[in-house]
Amino acid sequence: MIVLAACAAWSLITAAAHEGRPEGMLLAVLAVAAGYAAGRISGALLPVAAPCAAAAAGLGLAIATPGPQISLQLGHTGATAALLTLACGAACCAAWAARPPALRLALRLSGAGTAVTAALLGSTTAVVLCTGVLLCSLATARVRRRALGLTGFAAAAALVTGAAWAIGEDALPGGLTASLEGQLTEHRVLLWHDALRMARADPVLGVGPGRYGELSPTVTQSLLPDGKPHSAPLQQAAEQGLTGVLLLAVAFCWVLYALLRSPRTTPIALTAGAALTAVAAIASIGNALSFMTVTAGAGLLAGFATARPLTSGEPDTVPVPARHPGGHLGS
């Protein structure tokens, strides 16, 4: 709550300094907090049914998302891809929480169904990410130290963010930049250039929340502008300075730390970490976090994975040796 309160307070400070509009940031913080609280409560009461319902809801929202502005390609919004990834993560978490083998298999098949749905919708990004989350979830059966996996997720998110920043700064070799521009589109790269130009103009406070669209030449010349740079870290840098970027990074690192300390089993914690890292990667090169369904869904999944179930029926992947009455471990 301290981290989320700091994010909200800083958006108000930067808005006051530059007459910005902090409503979007405040709504995002509220959505994450509400989703996390709902996930903690429902995950404690219904550790299997709650993530199942969330997965179904996420899949339905992804299918029902309308309009060309919700394009699934890189270089456009990744909201649908993020919803499918969160749905896959929730289904896999429910599978690890279930006891009956048949139910566990059915839930894993439903997780695989999100990748099939992504293919039917034509989203290569969602197919890759959902498949990656599913494979990571299966691989966690052999993992005993979740810290190593969570550290890898943090490194992956940092790598994607750093790559986006380097492209915006034209810091990559020409051939690599040209190849990535073909996937991201030249328009997206120009948006990133504008964002970093604003960040350099005022690295402490930025230009103010909600003001990127007003000051970006690329946005003003676009036929269908949405006023976003399509990168959460770069939008924070442009509108709220480097402090905003730092707060965004701290919020993500806090989620990983919460998963590290979670009372749930290691496969559940790492499965949620994989899905949330995938969403972070989408947000680094898209505008997924501009949609309340995505921010609330991310908070909900984090809540499921950190809840302490009131029932004691959740299976443990690591057998615990039985103790004799005298206190010695059984053979």
d(CA 247, CA 135): 31
Tens-digit pLDDT profile for residues 4-56? 999 999 999 999 998 889 999 999 999 999 999 999 999 999 999 999 999 99
In a domain? residue 223:
yes
Tens-digit pLDDT profile for residues 66-92? 544 444 343 345 889 999 999 999 999
Token digits of residue 238: 């442009």
d(CA 218, CA 227): 10
* Residues in Cβ contact with 145 at an 8 Å cutoff, skipping those fewer than 6 apart: none
pLDDT of 172: 78
pTM of the model: 0.89
CB contact at 8 A, 143 and 168: no
d(CA 241, CA 244): 5
For residue 271, which of 246, 241, 306, 247 has the smallest C-alpha distance?
306
Tell me the sheet residues that pair with 76. 74
pLDDT of 315: 53
pLDDT of 74: 39
d(CA 200, CA 242): 10
Domain of residue 201: give its range: 2-306
Token digits of residue 199: 């960040």
Residues in the chain predicted with pLDDT less than 70, given as ranges, are 65-77, 174, 223-225, 311-331
d(CA 107, CA 96): 9
In a domain? residue 64:
yes
For residue 57, which of 296, 306, 308 has the smallest C-alpha distance?
296
CB contact at 8 A, 282 and 81: yes
In a domain? residue 325:
no
In a domain? residue 51:
yes
d(CA 309, CA 263): 9
pLDDT of 226: 74
Residue written as token pair 């402090």: 243
In a domain? residue 314:
no
In a domain? residue 81:
yes
Domain count across the chain: 1
Read off the DSSP letter of residue 321. Answer: P
